[in-house]
């Protein structure tokens, strides 16, 4: 039979109640003899006074008999046993020897007190009443056998605070156990979904296969969905990489043919052949970016980190950016570069940082700033421009291949890298160095690169 979640919830609540009761009983069995007191009812108090008068009358009528003999041979109230407590323990008297089987010392606390009902595991006592018998003072108790079950009486006699403590602890422990078992697959699904959202397509919930309830089925369905999603995405990436790779051969032949045609063509065709050559170069650059991105996404672009001077890494990039900013009549400002060494792949880091800076120059209105500093063993590079920026809901989409913040834009054939691949390559190049990129709108677009100085 399938174990539905509702049945599990009912079972756990029922088990909590049952275990709490069993725990109360178990703890009560470990306790020493206990007692509980309550006020005596008027009829029982009347019976106790009647017993006192009866004993005094019988003892006065039989002066030749001992007190113990008189109380042992009473004709009235045979069910009730009499215990005469004396201050000297050896002078205490009982109406029957069976009372010595009880722990009568439990009644000592009531001496000289008001009459009460005193419940213990094995007997119930009423008293005490002071009584003078033949010149001695006794404390009179009327003792009855306890007809209640010993087991549940122990529980009833437990202190209220102990009962409450056991109830709280048992319910808390069992509820925690139940909640942990219930929330564990949900937590696994949450973590797997978060990893999947960050591009880790191999993430799985891995919910216990022995679970047959709704959460177990949800985990299986999630893993099936993740597997299909991974398969489709990898197939698309592989297809794109294969197509890009296959297109390079005819593109190379096209460029060769264009070069040959340009040498033989008349002046009227030169402008068209130059246009074809320019578009071919643009297509070649795009295919190269696609293949590079495919390698980065697939994890096939392994590298051995080696030490690189930050000055040697960034100086050529900044020099090229300053030259380009002059051509665009824009201002480029930088701070003094820290003298540190970073471990990584120089080509990948160069391409990632260059793409970010060139993208800022492209969309800046008049100025771009580059600030580098070291923070907690990380290289942090801020690249800010004063351009229009992008809407907040599109910040997380800037690194998606072929994505543009404005759908009306089209690639600029006069510039390389206008197909939305630069930021995607930069993101993956930084990611393989265990860093990350953050985008913010601050009087334009602000891009923050964080790269560990040492690779794990």
Across 101-164, the runs of DSSP E, i.e. the strands, are 116-120, 123-133, 136-145
Q: What is the DSSP letter of 337?
A: P
Of 398, 306, 397, nearest in space to 348 by CA: 306
Question: CA–CA distance from 149 to each of 71, 157, 389 (Å)?
Answer: 29, 12, 81
**Under 8 Å CB-to-CB from 74, ≥6 apart: which residues?**
54, 55, 58, 82, 95
Cβ atoms of 333 and 369 closer than 8 Å: yes
Active-site position among 50, 69, 76, 245: 245
Q: Is 285 a catalytic residue?
A: no
CA distance 370 to 314: 11
C-alpha 247/C-alpha 16 separation (Å) is 68
Tokens coding 444: 């334009």
Taking the C-alpha atoms of 298, 288, 347 and 428 in order, what is their torsion angle to the nearest 10 degrees? -40
448 vs 456: CA distance, rounded Å: 21
Give the residue numbers marked as catalytic.
Answer: 245
């Amino acid at each position: 039979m399938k174990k539905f979640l509702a049945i599990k919830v009912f079972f756990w609540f029922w088990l909590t109640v049952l275990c709490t009761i069993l725990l109360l009983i178990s703890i009560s069995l470990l306790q020493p003899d206990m007692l509980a007191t309550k006020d005596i009812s008027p009829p029982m108090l009347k019976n106790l006074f009647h017993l006192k008068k009866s004993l005094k009358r019988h003892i006065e009528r039989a002066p030749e008999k001992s007190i113990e003999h008189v109380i042992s041979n009473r004709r009235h109230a045979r069910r009730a046993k009499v215990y005469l407590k004396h201050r000297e323990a050896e002078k205490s008297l009982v109406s029957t020897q069976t009372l010595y089987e009880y722990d009568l010392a439990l009644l000592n606390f009531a001496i000289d007190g008001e009459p009460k009902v005193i419940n213990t595991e094995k007997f119930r006592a009423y008293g005490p009443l002071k009584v003078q018998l033949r010149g001695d003072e006794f404390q009179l108790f009327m003792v009855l056998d306890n007809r209640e079950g010993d087991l549940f009486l122990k529980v009833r006699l437990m202190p209220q605070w102990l009962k409450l403590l056991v109830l709280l602890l048992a319910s808390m422990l069992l509820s925690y156990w139940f909640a942990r078992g219930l929330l564990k697959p949900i937590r696994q699904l949450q973590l797997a979904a978060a990893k999947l959202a960050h591009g880790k397509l191999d993430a799985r919930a891995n919910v216990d296969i022995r679970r047959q309830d709704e959460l177990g089925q949800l985990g299986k369905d999630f893993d099936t969905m993740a597997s299909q999603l991974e398969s489709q995405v990898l197939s698309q990436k592989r297809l794109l990489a294969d197509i890009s790779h296959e297109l390079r051969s005819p593109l190379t032949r096209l460029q060769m043919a264009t070069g040959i045609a340009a040498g033989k063509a008349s002046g009227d065709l030169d402008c068209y052949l130059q246009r074809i050559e320019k578009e071919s170069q643009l297509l070649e650059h795009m295919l190269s970016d696609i293949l590079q991105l495919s390698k980065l996404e697939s994890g096939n672009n392994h590298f051995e980190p080696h030490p690189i001077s930050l000055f040697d890494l960034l100086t050529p990039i900044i020099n090229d950016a300053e030259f380009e900013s002059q051509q665009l009549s824009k201002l480029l400002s930088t701070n003094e570069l820290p003298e540190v060494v970073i471990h990584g792949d120089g080509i990948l880091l160069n391409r990632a940082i260059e793409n970010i800076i060139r993208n800022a120059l492209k969309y800046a209105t008049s100025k771009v700033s580059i600030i580098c500093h070291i923070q907690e063993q990380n290289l942090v590079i801020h690249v800010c421009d004063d351009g229009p920026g992008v809407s907040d809901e599109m910040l997380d989409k800037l690194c998606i291949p072929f994505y543009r913040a404005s759908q009306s834009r089209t690639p600029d054939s006069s510039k390389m890298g206008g197909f939305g691949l630069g930021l995607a390559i930069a993101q993956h190049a930084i990611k393989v160095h265990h860093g990350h990129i953050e985008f913010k709108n601050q009087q334009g677009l602000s891009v923050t690169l964080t790269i560990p100085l040492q690779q794990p």
